Chain A
Amino acid sequence: MSEHNQIGKAVPRLDSVDKVTGLGDFAADIRLPGMLVGKFLASPHPHAEIQSIDTTRAESLPGVHAVITAADISEKGQFNPASRFHAFLARKFVVFAGQPVAAVAADDLATAEEAIDLIDVSYRLLPVVASIEQAIKPSCTAVMHEQHGMELGGSAHSQEIARDKGDQPAGQDEKSPNVVDENTFSFGDVDAAFAASDVIIENTYTVPVVHQGYIEPHGVTAYWDRPDHVIVWECVQGVFAARDLIADTLGIDPTKITLNATEIGGGFGGKGEGIFGPITVLLAKKASRPVQLILTREEELIGANPAPHSVIWIKTGAKADGTFTAVAADILVDAGAFATGWIMTNIATMLRDNYRFEAWHLHGREVLTNKASVSSYRAPGAPNAHFAMESQVDEIARALDMDQLQIRMQNVIREGDMRTTKELQDRIGANEVLAAVADHPAWSAALPKVDDEILQGRGMSLGSYSGGSGPAAAIAYLEAGGKFRFVVGTVDLTGSYTALSQIAAEALGVAVERIVMTKASPDHAPFAPMSAGSQTIYAMGAAVLEAACDIRDKLIRHVAKDFEVRPSALALDDEGVYVVSQPNKRHTFSTLYELGTEWFAEYGPVAGVGSAPQRQRAPGYAACVAEVNVEPRTGKISLTRLTMFQDVGKAINPLLIEGQLQGAAAQSAAMALWEELLFDGAGQVRNKSLLDYRMPTALDMPAIETIIVEAVGGDGPFGAKLVGEPPMTVPISAVANAVADAIERRVCDLPITPERVWQALHG
Chain B
Amino acid sequence: MITLPLQLIVNGQSHNLDIEPHLTLLEVLRNDLGLGGSKEGCSTGHCGACTVLINGQPISSCLMLAAEAEGQQVLTVEGLATDGKLHPVQTAFVSNGGLQCGFCTAGMMLSTVALLKRNPNPTEKEIRHSLAGNLCRCTGYHMIVEAVKKAAEVMIHE
Chain B CB within 8 A of A631 CB: no
Interface flags, B114-129, vs A, CB<8A=1, else 0: 0000000000100111
Task: For B131, list chain A residues within 8 Å (CB).
Answer: 697-699
Within 8 Å of chain A (Cβ to Cβ): is B77?
A: yes
Most buried by B among A23, A216, A655, A656: A216
- CA separation between A701 and B103, bound complex, in Å? 20
Q: Which stretch in A10-18, A410-418, A601-609, A750-758 binds the other chain?
A: A10-18
Instruction: Scan residues 12-46 of chain B and give those whose CB is less than 8 A from a CB of chain A.
Output: 22, 30, 35-44, 46
Residues 32-81 of B contacting A (Cβ, < 8 Å): 35-44, 46-47, 49, 76-78, 80-81
Task: Tell me whether A217 and B137 are in contact in the complex, defined as CB-CB below 8 angstroms, given that A21-B86, A689-B46, A699-B132 are known contacts.
Answer: no
Chain A residue nearest to B144 (CB atoms) is: A698
**Is A691 located at the chain interface by the 8 A CB criterion?**
yes
Q: By the criterion CB–CB under 8 Å, are A110 and B22 in contact?
A: yes
Residues of chain B with a CB closer than 8 A to A632's CB? none
Question: Given the complex, which residues of B lie within 8 Å of A664, measured CB to CB?
Answer: 140
Q: Which of B102-151 contact A (CB under 8 A)?
A: 102-106, 109, 124, 127-129, 131-145
**When chains A and B are docked, how far (Å) is the Cα of A26 from the Cα of B50?**
14
Interface string of A656-669 (1 = CB under 8 A from B): 10110011111100
A215 to B41, CA, bound (A): 5
Contacts of B2 in A (CB 8 A): none
Complex: A10 Cα to B22 Cα, angstroms: 47
Q: Say if the beta carbon of A201 comes within 8 Å of chain B.
A: no
B94 contacts which chain A residues (CB < 8 A)? 12, 16-17, 20
A266 at the interface (CB under 8 A from B): yes
Q: How far is the CA of A495 from the CA of B143 in the complex (A)?
A: 15
Q: Which residue of B35, B76, B132, B136 is within 8 Å of A215 (Cβ)?
A: B136
Contact A695 B143 (CB under 8 A): no
A328 to chain B, nearest CB (A): 36
Would you call A264 and B101 a contact (CB within 8 A)?
yes
Q: Which residues of B have CB within 8 Å of A216?
A: 39, 41, 49, 101, 103
Quick check: is A296 within 8 A (CB to CB) of the other chain?
yes
Q: Are A691 and B137 in contact (CB under 8 A)?
A: no
Minimum distance in angstroms from B131 CB to a CB of chain A? 4
- For A658, what are the chain B residues with a Cβ–Cβ distance below 8 Å? 97, 143
Task: Give the distance to chain A from B78, nearest Cβ to Cβ, in Å.
Answer: 5
> Is A717's CB within 8 Å of the partner chain B?
no
Q: Which of A17, A22, A493, A662 contacts B101 (CB 8 A)?
A: A493
Q: Which residues of B contact A701 (CB under 8 A)?
A: 128, 140-142
The answer for the CA separation of A263 and B124 in the assembled complex, in Å, is 31
Complex-state Cα separation, A110 to B104, whole angstroms:
26
Q: State in angstroms the CA–CA spacing of A655 and B100 once bound together.
A: 11
Contact A297 B101 (CB under 8 A): no
Question: Does A511 have its Cβ within 8 Å of any Cβ on chain B?
Answer: no
- CA–CA, A697 to B101, complex, Å? 17
**In the bound complex, how far is the Cα of B42 from the Cα of A266, in angstroms?**
14
Alpha-carbon separation in the docked complex, A689 to B141 (Å): 21
- Name the interface residues of A280-316: CB closer than 8 Å to any CB of B: 294, 296-297
Chain B residues within an 8 Å CB radius of A6: none
A13 close to B128 (CB less than 8 A):
no
A15-B102 CB under 8 A given contacts A20-B86, A297-B41, A658-B97: yes
Is A526 in contact with chain B by the CB < 8 A criterion? Answer: no
A266 cross-chain contacts in B, Cβ below 8 A: 100-101, 103, 137-138
Report the nearest B residue to A731, measured CB to CB: B140
Chain A residues with CB under 8 Å of B144's CB are 698
Give the A-B pair count, Cβ closer than 8 A: 170
- Give the complex CA separation of A665 and B38 in angstroms: 27
Q: How large is the interface on A (under 10, 10 to 19, 20 to 34, 35 or more residues)?
A: 35 or more
A24 adjacent to chain B (CB < 8 Å): yes
In the complex, what's the smallest C-beta–C-beta distance from A469 to chain B, in angstroms? 24
The 8 Å CB contact of B140, one of A29, A495, A655, A662, is A662
Complex: A29 Cα to B102 Cα, angstroms = 13
Distance of A265 Cα from B37 Cα, bound (Å): 13
Contact, CB under 8 Å: A297 / B141: no
Asked if A663 contacts B100 (CB within 8 A), the reply is yes
* B124–A22 CB distance below 8 A: no
Cα A689 to Cα B128 with chains together (Å): 22
Contacts A20-B86, A297-B41, A697-B135: A662 and B143 contacting too (C-beta < 8 A)? yes
Whose C-beta in chain A lies nearest to the C-beta of B44? A689
Instruction: Scan residues 1-48 of chain A and give those whose CB is less than 8 A from a CB of chain B.
Output: 10, 12-13, 15-26, 28-29
User: Are the CB atoms of B139 and A663 closer together than 8 Å?
Assistant: yes
Per-residue CB proximity of B78-106 to A under 8 Å, as 1/0? 10110000100010011101011111111
Assembled-state Cα–Cα distance A17/B106 (Å): 12
Residues of B close to A25: CB separation below 8 A: 36
Given contacts A20-B99, A264-B101, 11 further A-B contacts (CB under 8 A): A12-B97, A16-B99, A18-B102, A19-B102, A25-B36, A215-B136, A265-B103, A659-B97, A659-B139, A690-B41, A698-B128
8 contacts between A and B (CB under 8 A): A17-B90, A20-B109, A21-B37, A22-B76, A265-B103, A266-B100, A297-B44, A666-B140
Could you list which residues of chain B lie within 8 angstroms of chain A, going by C-beta atoms? 22, 30, 35-44, 46-47, 49, 76-78, 80-81, 86, 90, 93-95, 97, 99-106, 109, 124, 127-129, 131-145
